[in-house]
Structure 1
């Protein structure tokens, strides 16, 4: 279940003026949300409760957008371009919501 709106992701990746990638972008949203659930060790329902009950908290929405946007722009596992991670970006957004296991 996508809790971040497709329209928001389309704006994030600058694909809001065409619809040919909508199905793929929706798939990326679902996968990115699963990633956030795994990274926080929480269910979607738990994360929604931390937001307004229907949407994730804004910081986790931003994490989903960053992940899905990265996957949209880097569609292969290998790139010939040298890239560097922006320090603390994704980790800073997700870590405060992480549930520590016993």
Structure 2
């Protein structure tokens, strides 16, 4: 999933960032959040699910929802505020992320 320009604007609003100087850093955090969600949920984030046919296995997809978006904003905000690996708060996922994602997780 690619982060759209509109989503990037919302991320910057969430982070309270007005300028463009950190856009590359914020985009990297956004891409990492997509990767985190896809790995946690075990599927590719999509805006609409691929129709399933009877003769093929269903694709490993996760529908992008407002809850997933909220989890991504929490992750991006956490990484933006805590940029150094030495920060003690980096040892845990921000509060609420797993609660927002757990219902989308694929269990084997």
Q: What TM-score, normalized to structure 2?
A: 0.73
**Greater gyration radius:** 2
* Correspondence 1:90 to 2:97: yes
Mind listing any 5+ residue stretches in structure 2 that lack a counterpart?
Answer: 50-62
> CA RMSD, aligned part only?
2.5
| CA 1:91–1:49: 2 relative to 1, 3 Å | same
| CA 1:84–1:39: 2 relative to 1, 3 Å | closer
Which of 1 and 2 has higher RCO (CA within 8 Å, sep 6+)?
1
Mind listing any 5+ residue stretches in structure 1 that lack a counterpart?
Answer: none
After the TM superposition, list the runs of 4 or more consecutive aligned residues in structure 1 that deviate by more than 3 angstroms.
83-87
Q: Structure 1 or 2: larger strand share?
A: 2
